Structure 1
């Protein structure tokens, strides 16, 4: 037997039974579901809302209207039908009609043909007998396809509603309206619907689209009812399941984790978004399910730092907490997302596919201007508007937040309330706790200590006197409060300043339940400690905030009502500045100077004078000017963006800056750039976060290409087109060093001058001496005397001592000639000779040896020339012999040890043992030597050395790494992620400790400046080398120093600070890195600092920075 709507209604009227049960199922589902007014689909809901509706449904009386399928169709189309009845679509039409002559407006060819067929010679004669003629008539017609569908739809709908009235006894209020419209002339002029395909109007028009949807549903109404009957048992099980859940919920003994439920009206399904069943947990205490409807009609002061906002109204000035939990989630699945409000939830499910935002996140989150935060703020403020019906609302703000960080919540509050005023927590605390009678006079100071999350800040407020205020509001004694900028006392977790956790049970991603987090206890700061802090100074007494100061906020409102237009407090807004290039140096341009005071008056912008001009450089399509805040010029995280049709400019244009501040406005700061030459209209700056763009592939400094052994034999000379053979250079200079050292360490011979002094062809004096150790007379030249002696000091017969050296032709030469002393037979090695040897090593051997053994090269490499390898093995043995000799001076040994360490893996164990001793003692004197000894960290002893260094990354260790990282390309790859994090943390501290160069101890003191420059450059070069981690194969290491990371921004700030120090000190910053950089004209920033500035910020200009080599000519 066919089951349709008519049969269901008939059985419902006659006997009830199954027909009544089917209608009750439809009614149950429609009452717990929300339908999209546009599409008619059932919308997702939170489980708490659904369970509450099911519980309420069981308590409803039976006389309510049954919401079946026909009701859903009417409900979806009701308002559209009513609107269309009053404003049908019309279309212009054209037809021929016989019209009176005075009504004719348009004629066409047919009109003249008809007129010509009438008797008469002229038009007057033709119209004389009958003043009518056939003309064109234009009119607006409603006989359109969409109106034909409307007429057919409401006609059929009326029949079904009449049947519903007869069967159930319910008359829908739209039924008389349909009857009335169908009898109208407008409806009579509409033709019949021909079941045509829908046109664009039916598919896109707001109202006709709903009529089309209703028409489609009417076509399948009987089939849908038949399917409902066939699925009766399955639908009954669904009802029973969710009714049991609703009973558990209403009993108040179980916690239900908030989750998203999806509805499918056609299949009668209710399914959780991710989980199959709701997550339920036994509650430790009974939960009241009475919905606490809170409505406040008086002005209020609200604190949003808690999950349940605290408020105080002007009615009783008592602090209370709202019962609602101000949480918002966005659930994602594939490309679909749904927003969920959790105002009455038992617990929150922190699912990995959901985004959770609390009211306090709008204050503290670093990403609080994104679209999700804006949607959450809109939901929160709409909820607040339903609770607080007064147009006046004060909201207390943590003092350490600035106006830029509050943009989202401030804008949404301003949209919902006409009179909204942000109030610093310290000001509210003053009016809650301070007694005007105790104020001793102007300048009387109170400090408020506020703890929120992990951040503790102190705010100083000073009393100021106003005679007018004293007359108008005697209770104040004429004193108002001036708030000073906040001082951060401690911040134990710099990555997060908002309170940790949620004051509500949570369910983690593994569906494990967790209790509500306890609120952070306020930190008590001793007044004596604060007074010793120079940023705070002296004060009368301290207020440690332990509770929300909303009572003080609403008390301030009451006083302000009496004071009228005289403010009871004022604010010293924080310093704001930007960087400008002036005379080739980047300097701070203050937008807001220290001590700028504004009065908190809504709707009255205050002009803040900016004394300097800002030059817009030519050629840029837009300008992004980062802002700094405070006296330390901390990065604010916001930038002023300038866009104009006049950009890019052809020439640099100086602009005057006009800055205004309006308390509590959507955009408190308004900055206008006005060109001095008026070449284009003034440009209004817009504020945007500098973190909006996250760069994950920022450019990394390139390492100079390693040389091959062949290239070392043809090494280009500096500043010329000729080449050097570095291998021959090394061998030659080591041979010279051998000769010089041998002449100093050989035993001295004695002799007696046997000839008078003669002159050679160059005019130099020479003579001969007889010596028992030589078979021939020994040639003595005037250049062969020891330091301080000349030929005039000796005559024939004088006994002398000298170093005897046999020439290749069998002749003998006397070197280091001196008077004979009893100690002649001992070795002589004076300080002057020692200095000369050291100078010779540094000038002649440093460069070639460092270059040859750079990039992990070794004489054991297969590509190394065999002749060079053999000779260098002998030379290394010679160096080892020198180190073992007691007669070799310590300073010379140090230089020889440096040369050996440059050869890293080609040296013996005894050559590097002293390095481990220095590390164990915690004092590395030769940082460069240890850095070069590390080489490519391929030998076991090198790996042990690196592990010991990394274990304790002191300043000395970091200076070692600054040499090693530019001596071997793969050195940066030897560190793990944890080791790199420790190194970066230590390097950050090291750079923070860079201060101005100490003054010279005396006029000839060059060492102080040289040591300061070296230590400063080492930290900067290490930082530039560590930026090569951006091309690491490890994704985590690759992201370590990307521009958006906090540590990178901290380094960028330190680089700017060091730049200011260097430019102010006028000290030449020498770097061993040979940088090829194209700096802007007139920019005096040192190349190394300029390269770091671009690289740290991920600037596109960093790609144009090339490091062609590392200079080893000068280390001092």
Structure 2
């Protein structure tokens, strides 16, 4: 069978060229696999491709070549076999002349036809012709997709019959097609009119393959002619890869594996990189080493060189065990690498080895696909249902989830066994063992050095079954981690040569042996205690694991070891705060036999609160603050509950099962059927649109004239307020002299009832009588300086129709405008007055980036504001003005951010001294939205050294302008988040209050803590950022988000223990469970950081500036 039979022969297409094209196509089809859905050649690894080329041999004489026609028939043959027996059908409705007794349905046309017949009644009308025009319904196969199917089969049959005539080789598909074409069903199908394909042709599993075959048949002759014209280029391509295959098979060179892409239509073979990297090796590489074992096997996947034991031998698994995900701009390829000489370790490549299934933090999807590939390879080598696989003692049952599920799916008798138990079985001499005999197993795997204590226990029944054990089994205690150093990145690749990101060849790394541990030091560790001797695992104990299986087979149902499973808790809300609820208590032991569940008693009842659509509780191991990355979830049609329900908990543990822990909630009052919890993985759940805190809607300039007063129906005009407030402030700061008048004293000084002296004077122009008292005489004069007939000057004051003189002095005295004198008391009073009268309006007016240069800013106010700004700047330039008052004025100026004059900017630089900020609030106000060059320069200075003061500055700025958070780059925000998490982790417990009036330390502690939490709430708004990198930084699955969530939980505990209330500027509207006393800010942060859907119901109503007043 050959598609070249359809090409007209001429001089250009001689038999030699045709034979060569046929062999090229057959060679190509042998080396690649085709996607059964699309028919396109699938990418594969370089090593697999070269091995297939090496194993190619041309077809024998008379055998068909695998060419274009072969590809078409292979692609559609299965679909044709299914369709000829089950074509698509559609209901069909038609009119037909039927005997009266066979009519089942009539319509309007039927009655019209009947009415045209002669006769008055129905009997008369049918008397001469007992037939009616009725409606007949049937199933029809005359559909567009079936017409295309028929046309394709006719065309394909023509080509196949031509092949039979030329080569006397008949394809089985031809008989199927010819038989169907002669059927009545095929005759009922009309002609194909070359219509555009419908949805069925494009999406149906079988019709899609027929559509592909039809398209290829349409261009078959043109494609074949092109193949003949390009025979020379195809020859070169084939020669190149045959040369590589020969180099690979000789085993004298090491070739780096990578994806190879194929295009059957153009005969293109395109590797990921243009050139094939190779280097010579001293020792010849052996190719084609394969094993197939039909007896029980013990395998250890937790080491860089996986080992196995079968029978009496223990050795490394043959070939390379690796899985890679290659990610390019327009291509993504997964490779199973089991025959590779070397691999690439580039940034665009994700590489996983068997040990990564236990210790890697790679994406869950990648781990699943790698585990599927590795276990599939193991099944090819180990044909027995029983597989003992060794488990690192440092891991818990939840961390083994991926490996356990995939091995259970491949091997019916897959049994996990701790490496410590296998090592004990392999090395311990039972003749020296007695009851309570303790040993420890020291193991280093995955960068973790752990010590596992095993205690010998006596079982008389076991002694009868296995006399060599003297009746002793091992009780395993939870492992103690001595050191936890992340494994070096090159460690997983120590079994194979690699090419790094700089295209440098790296030889196989030799795993460093961990330093020896001193037994005396271990015995002094209270977590370990005394022991008889220690076993240090230096080589995988697979032989011990296989020997364990042999002993267990002889022992039957009597276990050879027992396991003390770790303490397991879930976090719930109780008494208004999150607490741990114990599922597995410390010291609980189980019998680890596959298929035999063990019941674990949960003593305390669990209360399910009302009004929850579902329940989800994070899972914790022991005393760890970090959850396991799993949660227990309850779903039931009975939820939400109308009232809280107490439930008894039933917990079972089945060793080696896909889900070892089974937790069931059974209501005490029978309010609903018992519900089994499902364990949900939360650690690897990738969320890209987690809820983000909203920012209160900014006010317009017009709204500032009608700001509602809290607790009142009245409104306040902030623009008028600030003008009046600064005018009043001037009166308290400056002496502004009034016009002075002159008069002549005409009476002697007389004493008053209080011991003071007074007199009267008369003006020369109006003869007005003026009362003069000695207390109104200016400093530097006394009343005796002025006698009858002397002229004085004064400021005229009238009250009740009577005139008096104030600021009395000599005739020629003149006053100038000047600053008042301030002492400590008057300075403090002035500061209080400024905070009460000026702070609030200025903070509100210049919030949200408003500026007097805005188009909608009232012109009258803008003019007055510029005058007031100049006035405030002049106050800062007064040498005798109190420093404390200047500080509060500086804050006022900072509130105006980009409206401050250039001369004021130098005052801000003085606020940054030696990395410490004297007034973080002022700098935070001044930053605005960072749209001025000096603001950007100030921001850059802050980012150079992110201290706690800088974080407090950002906490103020981030809630002053909604766009401030968007000005951060992803790298800058990462630095801020790390510093913020560090600062939260360094918060100490709240200082105690020594006396009734001594709470300053506690208040400062609470204020600092609150500002850090406010900053965290503000940076969570990055989840709404336009920049994708910035948006993803604080998604719930990110490590920094989880670390911040743990820090918030810690701060929540400290706040609950403190004696002061958490007061937050951010006003949060949130609904909390009844009895939950967590402060709103902390409760909201908990929901946002964990990605809880309840965060969508949180509303931030306003930013309260009461703390700023």
Deviation at 1:665, TM superposition (A): 0.6
Partner of 1:1015: 1008
Deviation sequence 1:140-175 (CA, Å, 0-9, x none): xxxxxx9xx99xx99x9999999989x9xxxx9x99
Partner of 2:740: none
Q: Name the stretch that deviates more: 62-71 or 1102-1111.
A: 62-71
Deviation at 1:667, TM superposition (A): 1.3
User: Does residue 1:388 correspond to 2:382, yes or no?
Assistant: yes
Structure 2 vs 1, CA of residues 999 and 406 (structure 1 numbering), >3 Å: closer, same or farther? same
User: Does residue 1:282 correspond to 2:279, yes or no?
Assistant: yes
1:88-167 superposed matches below 5 A: none
User: Does residue 1:422 correspond to 2:416, yes or no?
Assistant: yes
- Kept in 2: contact 1:256–1:279 (CA 8 A): yes
Partner of 1:412: 406
User: Does residue 1:344 correspond to 2:346, yes or no?
Assistant: no
Structure 2 vs 1, CA of residues 208 and 723 (structure 1 numbering), >3 Å: closer, same or farther? closer
Distance, in Å, in 2 between the alignment partners of 1:257 and 1:805 is 101
User: Does residue 1:949 correspond to 2:942, yes or no?
Assistant: yes
- Kept in 2: contact 1:1073–1:1109 (CA 8 A): yes
- Kept in 2: contact 1:31–1:67 (CA 8 A): no
Distance, in Å, in 2 between the alignment partners of 1:549 and 1:805 is 107
Deviation at 1:410, TM superposition (A): 1.2
Corresponding residue to 1:524 among 503, 515, 520: 515
Partner of 2:956: 963
1:891-902 superposed matches below 5 A: 894-895=887-888, 898-899=891-892, 901-902=894-895
Deviation at 1:958, TM superposition (A): 1.4
Deviation at 1:989, TM superposition (A): 1.0
Distance, in Å, in 1 between the alignment partners of 2:709 and 2:516 is 65
Partner of 2:269: 272
Partner of 1:1077: 1070
Structure 2 vs 1, CA of residues 308 and 458 (structure 1 numbering), >3 Å: closer, same or farther? closer
Deviation at 1:296, TM superposition (A): 3.9
Deviation at 1:1024, TM superposition (A): 1.0
Residue 776 of structure 1 aligns to a residue whose secondary structure is: strand
Structure 2 vs 1, CA of residues 924 and 439 (structure 1 numbering), >3 Å: closer, same or farther? farther
Partner of 1:362: 357
Partner of 2:716: 724
User: Does residue 1:249 correspond to 2:244, yes or no?
Assistant: no
Structure 2 vs 1, CA of residues 443 and 957 (structure 1 numbering), >3 Å: closer, same or farther? farther
Structure 2 vs 1, CA of residues 1101 and 163 (structure 1 numbering), >3 Å: closer, same or farther? closer
Distance, in Å, in 1 between the alignment partners of 2:680 and 2:354 is 22
Distance, in Å, in 2 between the alignment partners of 1:733 and 1:621 is 54
Corresponding residue to 1:446 among 440, 444, 460: 440
Deviation at 1:271, TM superposition (A): 3.8
- Kept in 2: contact 1:530–1:537 (CA 8 A): no
Residue 1114 of structure 1 aligns to a residue whose secondary structure is: helix
Distance, in Å, in 2 between the alignment partners of 1:1077 and 1:164 is 82
Structure 2 vs 1, CA of residues 533 and 1002 (structure 1 numbering), >3 Å: closer, same or farther? farther
User: Does residue 1:456 correspond to 2:448, yes or no?
Assistant: yes
Distance, in Å, in 2 between the alignment partners of 1:381 and 1:295 is 14
Deviation sequence 1:22-43 (CA, Å, 0-9, x none): 9977876676566789999977
**Aligned residue pairs, count:** 970
Partner of 2:92: none
Distance, in Å, in 1 between the alignment partners of 2:692 and 2:211 is 60
User: Does residue 1:607 correspond to 2:603, yes or no?
Assistant: no
Structure 2 vs 1, CA of residues 776 and 1060 (structure 1 numbering), >3 Å: closer, same or farther? same
Deviation at 1:1020, TM superposition (A): 0.4
Residue 1101 of structure 2 aligns to a residue whose secondary structure is: strand
User: Does residue 1:379 correspond to 2:373, yes or no?
Assistant: yes
- Kept in 2: contact 1:716–1:723 (CA 8 A): yes
Q: Name the stretch that deviates more: 913-922 or 712-721.
A: 913-922
Deviation sequence 1:330-365 (CA, Å, 0-9, x none): 779999987653211233467999875543343344
Distance, in Å, in 2 between the alignment partners of 1:1052 and 1:325 is 41
Partner of 2:660: 668
Deviation at 1:307, TM superposition (A): 5.6
Deviation at 1:992, TM superposition (A): 1.8
User: Does residue 1:300 correspond to 2:297, yes or no?
Assistant: yes
Distance, in Å, in 2 between the alignment partners of 1:647 and 1:216 is 54
Distance, in Å, in 2 between the alignment partners of 1:1047 and 1:811 is 75
Where structure 1 has 5 or more consecutive residues not aligned to the other structure, the ranges are 7-15, 90-107, 110-145, 183-188, 744-751, 758-766, 781-803, 815-826
Deviation at 1:1021, TM superposition (A): 0.3
User: Does residue 1:324 correspond to 2:319, yes or no?
Assistant: yes
Give the TM-score of the pair, scaled to structure 2: 0.71
Corresponding residue to 2:844 among 851, 855, 862: 851
- Kept in 2: contact 1:264–1:270 (CA 8 A): yes
Distance, in Å, in 1 between the alignment partners of 2:71 and 2:849 is 83
Structure 2 vs 1, CA of residues 835 and 387 (structure 1 numbering), >3 Å: closer, same or farther? same
Residue 635 of structure 1 aligns to a residue whose secondary structure is: coil
Distance, in Å, in 2 between the alignment partners of 1:479 and 1:66 is 65
- Kept in 1: contact 2:569–2:619 (CA 8 A): yes
Distance, in Å, in 2 between the alignment partners of 1:525 and 1:913 is 62
Residue 1106 of structure 2 aligns to a residue whose secondary structure is: coil
Distance, in Å, in 2 between the alignment partners of 1:1033 and 1:88 is 55
Q: Name the stretch that deviates more: 216-225 or 588-597.
A: 216-225
- Kept in 2: contact 1:451–1:522 (CA 8 A): no
- Kept in 2: contact 1:5–1:225 (CA 8 A): no
- Kept in 2: contact 1:459–1:483 (CA 8 A): no
Deviation sequence 1:767-819 (CA, Å, 0-9, x none): 85669999722679xxxxxxxxxxxxxxxxxxxxxxx99967665799xxxxx
Structure 2 vs 1, CA of residues 196 and 607 (structure 1 numbering), >3 Å: closer, same or farther? same
Structure 2 vs 1, CA of residues 772 and 606 (structure 1 numbering), >3 Å: closer, same or farther? farther
Partner of 1:1091: 1084
Structure 2 vs 1, CA of residues 562 and 65 (structure 1 numbering), >3 Å: closer, same or farther? farther
Deviation at 1:734, TM superposition (A): 5.6
Structure 2 vs 1, CA of residues 546 and 991 (structure 1 numbering), >3 Å: closer, same or farther? farther
1:185-196 superposed matches below 5 A: 196=186
User: Does residue 1:315 correspond to 2:308, yes or no?
Assistant: no
Distance, in Å, in 2 between the alignment partners of 1:284 and 1:298 is 36
Deviation sequence 1:804-838 (CA, Å, 0-9, x none): 99967665799xxxxxxxxxxxx998876666555
Distance, in Å, in 2 between the alignment partners of 1:860 and 1:221 is 73
Deviation at 1:683, TM superposition (A): 2.5
Q: Name the stretch that deviates more: 936-945 or 295-304.
A: 936-945
Deviation at 1:959, TM superposition (A): 2.0
User: Does residue 1:776 correspond to 2:772, yes or no?
Assistant: yes
Residue 302 of structure 1 aligns to a residue whose secondary structure is: strand
Residue 634 of structure 1 aligns to a residue whose secondary structure is: coil
Structure 2 vs 1, CA of residues 1059 and 380 (structure 1 numbering), >3 Å: closer, same or farther? same
Distance, in Å, in 2 between the alignment partners of 1:611 and 1:325 is 50
Distance, in Å, in 1 between the alignment partners of 2:432 and 2:986 is 44
Partner of 1:52: 51
Where structure 2 has 5 or more consecutive residues not aligned to the other structure, the ranges are 7-14, 87-100, 103-148, 191-200, 736-748, 762-769, 777-793, 808-819
- Kept in 2: contact 1:429–1:549 (CA 8 A): yes
- Kept in 2: contact 1:846–1:1113 (CA 8 A): no
Q: Name the stretch that deviates more: 734-743 or 1079-1088.
A: 734-743
Corresponding residue to 2:1044 among 1051, 1061, 1064: 1051
Deviation at 1:908, TM superposition (A): 8.4
Structure 2 vs 1, CA of residues 488 and 660 (structure 1 numbering), >3 Å: closer, same or farther? farther
Give the TM-score of the pair, scaled to structure 1: 0.71
Deviation at 1:1022, TM superposition (A): 0.7
Partner of 1:577: 569
Distance, in Å, in 2 between the alignment partners of 1:56 and 1:856 is 73
- Kept in 2: contact 1:634–1:1053 (CA 8 A): yes
Partner of 2:1019: 1026
User: Does residue 1:1063 correspond to 2:1060, yes or no?
Assistant: no
Distance, in Å, in 2 between the alignment partners of 1:408 and 1:442 is 35
Deviation sequence 1:414-438 (CA, Å, 0-9, x none): 1332332223345445556677788
1:796-875 superposed matches below 5 A: 811=804, 836=829, 839-855=832-848, 863=858, 864-871=861-868, 873-875=870-872
User: Does residue 1:698 correspond to 2:694, yes or no?
Assistant: no
